[in-house]
Amino acid sequence: MLYQFPMDSGNYLIFIDSVNLSLGTNSIISNISAEKIKVNFFKLESVEESTTTPMYLTFDTITLKDCELRFKESFITFSRIETQDDFNVVINNLLFSNIVFLSGGNVINFGHQMIKPIVLNNFRFENIFAGSIKLESRNTNLKFETKVIFQNGSFSQINTNFESILVLNQGANLEIRNSSFNQVMSLNRGAIIFAGYRNTITRIYDSSFANITAIKASLFQIESGSVIKVYRCSIVSNFAVTAGVLAGTDDGYFEIYNSTIHHNYALLNVVTELLSVSYESIIDSTTMYNNEVILVSDMMNEFTKTCRLLCFVPVILREYINKNPSLYAFPTYYRMFDLVNAILTIRNGSTIYNQMSIAKCFMSTINLYDVEVFDLDAKNIGIGLASSALNMANAVIYNVTTSNQLFFVYSDSGSAVNIQNTSYFDSESQFFTGISTSVTIDGLKIRSVKCTLSVLRVQDSDGIKISNTNISGVTTSNATSAC
């Protein structure tokens, strides 16, 4: 055991410098338990390249408990490691518990550039305050990426304060497998991942995200050409005040495959906000339901009276929100997606149900291919588009209720709507209204629909082409024709 080691800030309990890979050694650091230390724990710095034998550095069963750092430093650091050789670093059975960063800092700071990734197996990060895990190459002339793999681990009871758990910047390439994130909170940047400057890559497989609270950003914040790709994950029961589950800006985009996104809550844009993103974001073979935009009054009742939806939000964050009304001084919009100069494709058997409005798009493109939408109860419009494009094919839409229409397209400069082989039935809403837009419809089937005005309505069109369309069983209360 190591107790309150009497060293000044900036020193390390274990420091390895100038590793010579030509020795081809197998080094093991194992069975170390450090408690109540107030200094940096480990640093690996400077590796001399070789073209001969591989080297293995293994950490096994490392435990840090009840520790704190006074200054903005890191407990574990990998820096100035630039090698194309067969250098393998593996960390097994790592535990960080009850760790406090008084001025912010890093649990682990990955600053290496290597062909091989650093691998963490069977890890636990729990009860951490104001600390992050950072991936960033300090070398602007990147030879190799800063590669890290997290697998079979957990993050729980973490207050990142004004940071994210995982901060990715230049050169970062992160892979997460079979891991869980639970009871995490953040006041500022993305609660889970901040993928920032520039072109970072994150891949997440078979992991879960639950009971997470983000105040001024989303769960995943993506910027500057970075991408987050999610495979077979569940994102359930989280609360982000403004930006929902994912937010992309400045060409930051995402791809989601074979996942579930449900019972997430926000004051607006409950699933996604995309602003100025030229790359296509994709939702593929994914189920989305019961993601709810809540009123400010409902949120305050949740925090002060009867807790129904947001019971997982920590008391400290409830108090913070109550004391800072400017955090929610904006109108409430009941929608899942908000797109401004962006592209979103939902495809391949993805399902949306038990939702309110789906999207608002401005100067954007939304594609719906092979999707099923049902039990939609929109306050106003299902999908609203201004100067935007809607492409839809092989979609099935039913049991929709809106006060106006399912799709509303308006343009000052020309929008385009292309609908193919789509069915719409058993609903109480206009299907489509287009103003100053070009419309192409082929293979549309509409039946058993009640609406106030015509089920299909086009005004001041830039061009209409309708073919192979069947409309039956339409009842209108304030129109003389179905179209």
Tens-digit pLDDT profile for residues 88-140? 899 999 999 999 999 999 999 998 888 889 999 999 999 999 999 999 986 66
Tell me: pLDDT of 266 over 70.
Answer: yes
Question: Are 360 and 382 a contacting pair, CB within 8 Å?
Answer: no
Taking residues 249-277, what's their average pLDDT?
A: 93
Report percent pLDDT > 70 for the chain.
91
The dihedral through the CA atoms of 167, 168, 172, 175 has a sign that is: positive
> pLDDT band for position 2 (50/70/90)?
very low
Q: Cα–Cα distance between 400 and 218 in angstroms, integer?
A: 28
The secondary structure element, H or E, covering residue 317 is helix 315-323
How far the first Cα of the chain sits from its last, in Å, is: 79
- Take residue 213 and report the two structure tokens written for it: 């609270």
Convert 182-232 into a string of H (helix), E (strand) and C (coil).
EEEEECCCCCCEEECCCCCEEEEECCEEEEEEECCCCCEEECCCCEEEEEC
pLDDT of residue 476: 84
Beta bridge partners of 391: 367, 418
Question: Are 476 and 452 a contacting pair, CB within 8 Å?
Answer: yes
* Average model confidence (pLDDT) across the chain: 88
Question: Are 449 and 472 a contacting pair, CB within 8 Å?
Answer: no
pLDDT of residue 480: 62
pLDDT of residue 8: 46
- In the chain, where the domains are located: 2-382
Question: Are 406 and 383 a contacting pair, CB within 8 Å?
Answer: yes
The residue that leads in pLDDT, 54 or 351, is 351
Contacts of 206 (CB under 8 A, 6+ apart): 177, 178, 231, 232, 233
Of these ranges, 4-18, 69-83, 361-375, the one predicted with the greatest mean pLDDT is 361-375
pLDDT of residue 331: 64
pLDDT of residue 1: 41
- Take residue 384 and report the two structure tokens written for it: 């609203």
Taking residues 275-291, what's their average pLDDT?
A: 96
Cα Dmax for the chain: 87
The residue that leads in pLDDT, 448 or 459, is 448
pLDDT of residue 3: 39
The dihedral through the CA atoms of 342, 398, 429, 336 has a sign that is: negative
Tens-digit pLDDT profile for residues 153-187? 999 999 998 889 999 999 899 999 999 999 999 88
Angle (nearest 5°) at CA 353 between 351 and 358:
90
Tens-digit pLDDT profile for residues 202-259? 999 999 999 999 988 899 999 999 999 999 999 999 998 877 899 999 999 999 999 9
- Take residue 328 and report the two structure tokens written for it: 């929610």
Tell me: pLDDT of 325 over 60.
Answer: yes
pLDDT of residue 6: 42
Give the Å distances, CA to CA, from 34 to 76, 94, 98, 99. 13, 12, 12, 12
Could you identify the residue written with the tokens 């038990």? 354
Taking residues 431-450, what's their average pLDDT?
A: 91
Report percent pLDDT > 90 for the chain.
53
Give the Å distances, CA to CA, from 136 to 84, 145, 244, 383, 472. 17, 9, 26, 39, 59
The residue that leads in pLDDT, 10 or 411, is 411
- Take residue 307 and report the two structure tokens written for it: 């807790």
Q: Cα–Cα distance between 38 and 146 in angstroms, integer?
A: 27
Number of H helices, E strands in the chain: 2, 41
Q: Which amino acid is at 274?
A: L
pLDDT of residue 413: 65
pLDDT of residue 317: 83
Taking residues 34-55, what's their average pLDDT?
A: 78
Quick check: bond before 198 cis, omega within 30?
yes
Tens-digit pLDDT profile for residues 46-58? 776 665 677 888 9
- Take residue 381 and report the two structure tokens written for it: 């419009």
pLDDT of residue 21: 55
Range with lowest mean pLDDT among 16-20, 64-68, 466-470? 16-20
